[in-house]
Amino acid sequence: MTGPKTYAFDRINILLRCFVVQASWNFKSMLGLGFCFCVIPLARRLYKTKEERSEFLRRHLEFFNAHPYFVGFCLGAVTRLEEEALQKKWPDKRPISIFKERMTGPLGGLGDQLFWDRIKPVTAALGVLIGLRYGWVAIPIFLFIYNVPHIYIRVKSFNLSYQRGFDVVSILSTRRFKQAGHLISIVGLITAGVLIIVAADWSFKQNVAVGAAFVVSAAATGLFIYFKKSINFIIFTVALISMVIGYLFTL
């Protein structure tokens, strides 16, 4: 094969740009504009004329959406495919656009399940647990623990998808992420159990009002979960209950 190809520093540039892929999020193209921003170094490397670069960037301004941490799975593959399209002189670049469209659902669903539904709540609970015992030191610990899998998945997904191109779809299955999700769920349950014990101990050591607010809030939370209320409803209602109890004890 002949033709221009990206170098390591080009790919590093593209990877670093994906950390701000949501900076230009909008209702029309979702992450489309951010994705286009990420591939600007690719346009500069592969094409020499202004017209060619404009046509390339126009193709990547299309609608695109995904979990922000999973964008690398598509970004790396697209980098590889754009190289191959030029080197093998593809008559039509439409397969790349179709590939991006079909990656939207899996990248959004898998990312949400892994990070928003599991890693984020578990690390947040761990941060609160540490905070109750050791104060402000919980903040850097939480940020470190949360960002280890975050940064790992960004880097790993980009490199892996660059190597595989179209074949990256073979590793994007719920089954592959199910084991990791199951393990995180177990850690989350253990953390939640310890957090309840520590929070109860901390609450009763403060004063009667705080202890009463904890007991009633915990009971209300369990009841709302049983009736499958939304998380926003639970947070708002429990916070309101706690404030009411605090006010009553000041009368």
Q: Mean pLDDT throughout 57-72?
A: 94
Distance CA 42, CA 27 (A): 25
* Alpha-helix residue ranges (DSSP H) falling in the chain: 8-17, 32-38, 40-46, 50-59, 71-87, 94-111, 120-134, 138-164, 174-206, 208-226, 231-250
Cβ neighbours for 203, distance < 8 A, ≥ 6 positions apart: 210, 211, 213, 214
Q: What is the pTM of this model?
A: 0.82
Residue 30 — φ and ψ, nearest 5°? 55, -110
The answer to whether residue 175 scores a pLDDT higher than 70 is no
> Over the stretch 113-142, which tens digit does the pLDDT of each residue have?
899 988 998 898 898 888 888 888 999 999
Percent of the chain with pLDDT over 90: 51
**Residue 117 and residue 30 in contact, taking contact as beta carbons nearer than 8 Å:** no
Q: Band the pLDDT of 227: cuts 50, 70, 90.
A: confident
Cβ neighbours for 39, distance < 8 A, ≥ 6 positions apart: 14, 56, 57, 60, 75, 78, 79, 82
Q: What is the mean pLDDT of the chain?
A: 88
Q: Band the pLDDT of 251: cuts 50, 70, 90.
A: low
- Return the pLDDT at 3: 64
Distance CA 70, CA 108 (A): 8
- Specify whether the backbone of 92 is left (phi greater than 0), alpha (psi in -120 to 50) or beta: beta
Give me the DSSP letters along 29-79: TBTHHHHHHHTHHHHHHH--SHHHHHHHHHHTTS-B---GGGHHHHHHHHH
Other C-beta atoms lying within 10 Å of the C-beta of residue 202? 15
Q: Mean pLDDT throughout 13-28?
A: 94
Distance CA 50, CA 154 (A): 30
> Over the stretch 180-214, which tens digit does the pLDDT of each residue have?
777 887 887 777 777 777 777 777 777 777 788 88
Q: Band the pLDDT of 49: cuts 50, 70, 90.
A: very high
- Return the pLDDT at 55: 93
- Return the pLDDT at 174: 61
Exposed e or buried b per residue across 3-31, where buried means at least 16 C-beta atoms within 10 angstroms of its C-beta: eeebeeebbebbbebbeebeeeeeeebbb
| Cβ burial, residue 157 (10 Å; 0-12/13-18/19+) | buried
The answer to whether residue 215 scores a pLDDT higher than 90 is no
- Report the C-alpha dihedral over residues 103, 107, 109, 113, rounded to 10 degrees: 160
CA pseudo-torsion sign 130, 121, 71, 38:
negative
The answer to whether residue 165 scores a pLDDT higher than 80 is yes
The answer to whether residue 58 scores a pLDDT higher than 90 is yes
- Return the pLDDT at 201: 76
Q: Mean pLDDT throughout 155-180?
A: 85
**Residue 1 and residue 85 in contact, taking contact as beta carbons nearer than 8 Å:** no
